[in-house]
Amino acid sequence: MKIKTPLSTKGSQIVDANGNTILLRGVNWFGMETEVHVPHGLWRRDYKDMLAQIKQFGYNLIRLPYSVNALRSPNINAVDFSIGSNRDFQGKTPLQVMDIIIQEAAKNELLIMLDSHRLNDVTTPELWYGDGFTEADWIDTWKLLAERYKNQTNVIAADLKNEPHGSATWGQGDITTDWRSAAERCGNEILAINPNWLIVVEGVEKNVPNQQLLGHWWGGNLEGVKDFPVRLNVANKVVYSPHEYGEGVFAQAWFNAPDFPQNLYERWHKGFLYIANNEIAPILIGEFGGRKIDTNSKEGIWQRQFINFIQQNNLSFSYWSWNPNSSDTGGILLDDWVNIDIGKQELLGTLLTGQITPVPNPKPTPQAQLAVEILVQADWNNGFCINFRLTNQGTVPTQDWRLNFTLNQAKISQTWNGSYSLQGAIYEVIPANWAKVIQPGKTVEIGYCADKLGDNYKPSDVKAVLV
């Protein structure tokens, strides 16, 4: 479905100009907030090719970070002008580069959310001012962008400030630290020029009256919205945007809690999901990501659980990151800036299409490829039985494989054709020896019966892994 802009909000939903409920499915393409003043990777790729690839893999949004310093600078670096269409950038300022990126994104039906990521080109400040820049510098940059792109229909949102933290407060009334009131001042200035944009407001880290959780990520604490929502002069424009990461970014205390990973759901509900559940405003996860997607590491378990959580609650998101050169998370692209991390894209594909989307290798080689069908064999008041039907849709036999799935509110009582082991809420199934080799076009079935422990008893996040 083509999204008709401008966008607005309706309760917990983002809606387009036709009133259709939409989900923003995006990636962060960073670099303009760094000393090179352009999105990264242009030393290796044609920017048109890059944007077309983002569209090809099912995304409809780019969160485009910038620094205030970059947009005031005349200089760009780290562009190979000999590659494809990159000559378009020769002699251009960072702001003109942003124009070109946005216009080409529009040709690919990609929406743009601008992100005030830094003031200087190096660090993320605690507050919306500092590092030699004032509040007026920050707001004036937003006013410049609102005016410049008010007729560019694919620019749909302003993410006002990346990751307020440290001394930033919410709802405490101190004009020098209260992020909620600063967001109102800036948001109203933007909407006075361009009333069509969504105003995206991140949380803080701490300093929220009566907060329930002891710790949060930078920008992740939106507990204050309950008592102190952001109030703007134009209705139905506020979207709240937490950031969420796994242990690969920092070993937060909750990753070592005895009830991990079950404790994650309570955190997400208390930290931000209540905003959508109570129809206050939509949630857009502005950043999440990590290198590991396996079922054993804490980061892998976290990332799988969070993707499932996004899907179950129909949340919008922009993944960190498209770039491979994010040191603690990696990216969707591999280090060559051309090929895709297939496992990561397949996992994200569950959000883009509602099911796992196979991603071909750039140079296909003969391979096995397992598809999984979930069959409910029996379902009664206190229990149920599930059959997993695995079909080799590839061109060569499998050598060995595993099946992973999440089971939240059920206890397995009987299994067949495989050995089941439980880690947190995630099961791994090792097939019986006779079932490890599945010939092309052939099918194997494994399964279990279980007792129901709640309404959410069916398996989810089901994935076959070749080993």
Write phi, then psi, for 51 (nearest 5 degrees): -65, -40
In a domain, 132, yes or no: yes
CA distance 434 to 441: 17
* Tokens 């995630």, located at residue: 426
Whether residue 197 contacts residue 156, with contact meaning beta carbons closer than 8 Å, is answered with yes
Of 84, 147, 85, which Cα lies nearest the Cα of 114?
Answer: 147
CA distance 428 to 299: 17
In a domain, 65, yes or no: yes
Contacts of 422 (CB under 8 A, 6+ apart): none
Looking at the fold, whether 401 and 435 belong to one and the same domain comes out as yes
pLDDT along the chain (467 residues), means of 10: 93 95 96 98 97 96 98 97 97 98 97 98 97 97 98 98 98 96 98 98 96 95 97 98 97 94 93 96 98 94 94 94 96 96 93 53 61 85 88 88 89 89 85 87 87 90 88
Q: Which domain holds residue 385?
A: 370-466
Looking at the fold, whether 345 and 401 belong to one and the same domain comes out as no
Looking at the fold, whether 134 and 174 belong to one and the same domain comes out as yes
Looking at the fold, whether 333 and 460 belong to one and the same domain comes out as no
Looking at the fold, whether 304 and 396 belong to one and the same domain comes out as no
pLDDT the model gives residue 220: 97
Looking at the fold, whether 118 and 38 belong to one and the same domain comes out as yes
pLDDT the model gives residue 364: 44
In a domain, 365, yes or no: no
pLDDT the model gives residue 139: 98
In a domain, 436, yes or no: yes
Looking at the fold, whether 345 and 399 belong to one and the same domain comes out as no
CA distance 342 to 29: 18
Write phi, then psi, for 303 (nearest 5 degrees): -65, -40
Q: What is the CATH number of the domain that holds 406?
A: 2.60.40.290
Of 353, 388, 423, which marks where a domain is finished? Answer: 353
CB atoms within 10 A of CB 397: 13
Write phi, then psi, for 352 (nearest 5 degrees): -80, -30
pLDDT the model gives residue 366: 65
Of 301, 328, 353, which marks where a domain is finished? Answer: 353
Looking at the fold, whether 378 and 329 belong to one and the same domain comes out as no
Of 353, 383, 409, which marks where a domain is finished? Answer: 353
One-letter amino acid identity for 219?
G
In a domain, 445, yes or no: yes
pLDDT the model gives residue 433: 85
Rounded to the nearest 5 degrees, what angle is found at the Cα of 27, between the Cα atoms of 21 and 32? 125
Query: Active-site residue among 33, 184, 287, 299?
Result: 287
CB atoms within 10 A of CB 327: 7
One-letter amino acid identity for 237?
K
Of 270, 175, 186, 278, which Cα lies nearest the Cα of 231?
Answer: 186
pLDDT the model gives residue 444: 86
Distances (CA, A) of 322 to 71, 213, 318, 339, 348: 22, 31, 10, 11, 12
pLDDT the model gives residue 387: 87
Q: What is the CATH number of the domain that holds 242?
A: 3.20.20.80
Looking at the fold, whether 341 and 376 belong to one and the same domain comes out as no
Looking at the fold, whether 346 and 392 belong to one and the same domain comes out as no
Looking at the fold, whether 86 and 141 belong to one and the same domain comes out as yes
Looking at the fold, whether 231 and 258 belong to one and the same domain comes out as yes
Query: Active-site residue among 33, 163, 184, 244?
Result: 163
In a domain, 2, yes or no: no
CA distance 424 to 422: 6
Does 279 participate in catalysis according to the annotation?
A: no
In a domain, 363, yes or no: no
Does 184 participate in catalysis according to the annotation?
A: no
Can you spell out the DSSP letters for 49-79? Answer: HHHHHHHHTT--EEEEEEEHHHHT-S---S-
Number of domains in the chain: 2
